[in-house]
Amino acid sequence: MDVTPKPSPLAVLAEAARPEFEAFHQFHSAAERADGAIPAKYRELMAVAVALTTQCQRCIERHSARAREAGATREELAETVFVAAAVRAGGAVVHGLHAMRAGFGEPGRSP
């Protein structure tokens, strides 16, 4: 029986596209650096909001935990959820305006 551990899915991806992975890793590290102008707590809450709108489960878990570690309160995390939801909903409304224009001309006017 072979007991050789299998590489992680991320390691397989990294090996298959090494230059792209390295460039992404550098970018990701720079964006999440601790010495930036934005304090870690706010950086992580922003990351949570983005993760919620992109629906990245791993990102939601990671950045929510890191936000708490950086001092975010339960209330701040809860408000972040609703800020993200409102911005996402606002985007749907704006896209709805585009749909109205495409289907019927300017909103309130016939084509």
pLDDT score at 41 = 97
pTM of this structure: 0.80
pLDDT score at 107 = 62
| Model pLDDT for residues 44-81, shown as the tens digit of each residue | 999 999 999 999 999 999 999 999 999 999 999 999 99
Whether the per-residue pLDDT at 13 is higher than 70: the answer is: yes
6: left (phi over 0), alpha (psi -120 to 50) or beta: beta
DSSP string, 68-109: HHTT--HHHHHHHHHHHHHHHHHHHHHHHHHHHHHHHSSTTS
Domain 38-111: homologous superfamily in CATH: AhpD-like (1.20.1290.10)
Separation CA 95–CA 85 (nearest Å):
15
**CA dihedral in degrees (67, 73, 78, 82; nearest 10)?**
-70
Closest CA to 48 of 81, 75, 73, 74: 81
pLDDT score at 75 = 98
Domain regions of the chain by residue span:
8-36, 38-111
